[in-house]
């Protein structure tokens, strides 16, 4: 077990947003967090990462209590990719290099530069290395945020709708790269997604969230249609195409 979330709860100004959220992530596992808008997916990712302080419950990073760890310790364990970021006047290369901060000593080493170059290449961003962030499209900027998280070399990646600004090809490329990283480096990833069929295609497990609570955790091959109808309020059929489950509204 690489990440354990147990009974996590959170409120905004006394209004409950998360209630008793419990799940586990294993090494080499990519889990998709699914649910309608406003159900608490972003809040859950930010609470796990320590950006928000929970009302109750625990988050264990392997055997460590994340809530008692310093921000520096959490930054070496979690790589967080927000849904939106503010482009600043930095080059793509320098923005990705910032992801190495948890590992830097007094200076940037050759190994740090190699990590940045490798991350840019894995996401086909080499040609943008010297371009400024505020000159990028939304999809390009989103890929830069992922590259920055990858060079951080975290144990767990937390990604908030990482494909929302990407076209179909770039969605597939990004998720294939992410899955390769997760499997090849024995890390874990938890990502919120809106596209159910993309989640079925790439995720190892699916976590369905509604009204701040986990309604079910399933392997893609075992998801019943009624859980989707319950969470999204839409009756669906689950069919198979070349062995991959797909969701079709009834």
- Residues 6 or more apart whose CB falls under 8 angstroms from that of 52 comprise 10, 43, 46
The answer, yes or no, to whether residue 87 has pLDDT greater than 70, is no
From 198, 207, 208, select the one nearest 178 (Cα to Cα). Answer: 198
Residue the block writes with tokens 């990482």: 162
Instruction: Specify the DSSP class assigned to residue 196.
Output: H
The answer, yes or no, to whether residue 66 has pLDDT greater than 70, is yes
Average pLDDT, the chain: 90
Domains and CATH numbers, the chain: 3-249 (3.40.50.300)
Overall average pLDDT of the 150-159 stretch: 92
The answer, yes or no, to whether residue 113 has pLDDT greater than 80, is yes
**Which comes out higher in pLDDT, residue 237 or 86?**
237
The answer, yes or no, to whether residue 124 has pLDDT greater than 90, is no
Least confident of 86-100, 181-195, 226-240: 86-100
Strands (E), 82-201: 156-160, 188-192
Helices (H) and strands (E) in the chain, counts: 8, 12
Query: Do 44 and 207 form a contact (C-beta atoms < 8 A)?
Result: no
Q: How far is CA 133 from the centre of its chain?
A: 21
The answer, yes or no, to whether residue 103 has pLDDT greater than 80, is no
- Write down the pLDDT at residue 3: 95
- Write down the pLDDT at residue 78: 93
- Write down the pLDDT at residue 4: 95
Instruction: Tell me the percentage of the chain whose pLDDT exceeds 70.
Output: 98
Overall average pLDDT of the 148-166 stretch: 90
Overall average pLDDT of the 23-45 stretch: 95
Overall average pLDDT of the 185-209 stretch: 94
Overall average pLDDT of the 96-112 stretch: 82
Query: Do 17 and 171 form a contact (C-beta atoms < 8 A)?
Result: no
Provide the token pair at 124. 């086909």
């Amino acid at each position: 077990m690489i990440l354990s979330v147990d009974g996590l709860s959170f409120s905004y100004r006394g209004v409950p947003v998360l209630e008793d959220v419990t799940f586990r992530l294993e090494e080499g596992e990519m889990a998709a967090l699914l649910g309608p808008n406003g159900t608490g997916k972003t809040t859950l990712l930010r609470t796990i990462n320590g950006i928000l302080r929970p009302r109750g419950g625990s988050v264990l990073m392997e055997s460590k209590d994340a809530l008692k760890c310093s921000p520096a310790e959490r930054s070496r364990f979690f790589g967080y990719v927000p849904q939106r970021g503010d482009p600043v006047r930095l080059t793509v290369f320098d923005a990705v290099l910032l992801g190495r901060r948890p590992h830097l000593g007094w200076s940037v080493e050759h190994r740090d530069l190699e990590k940045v170059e490798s991350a840019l290449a894995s996401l086909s961003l080499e040609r943008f290395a010297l371009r400024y962030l505020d000159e990028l499209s939304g999809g390009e900027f989103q890929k830069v945020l992922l590259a920055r998280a990858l060079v951080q070399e975290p144990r767990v990646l937390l990604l908030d709708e990482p494909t929302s600004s990407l076209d179909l090809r770039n969605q597939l490329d990004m998720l294939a790269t992410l899955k390769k990283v997760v499997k090849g480096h024995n890390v874990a990833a938890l990502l919120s997604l809106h596209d159910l069929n993309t989640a079925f295609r790439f995720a190892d497990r699916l976590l369905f969230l509604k009204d701040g609570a986990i309604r079910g955790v399933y392997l893609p091959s075992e998801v019943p249609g009624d859980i989707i109808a319950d969470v999204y309020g839409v009756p669906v059929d689950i069919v198979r195409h070349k062995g991959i489950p797909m969701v079709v509204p009834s």
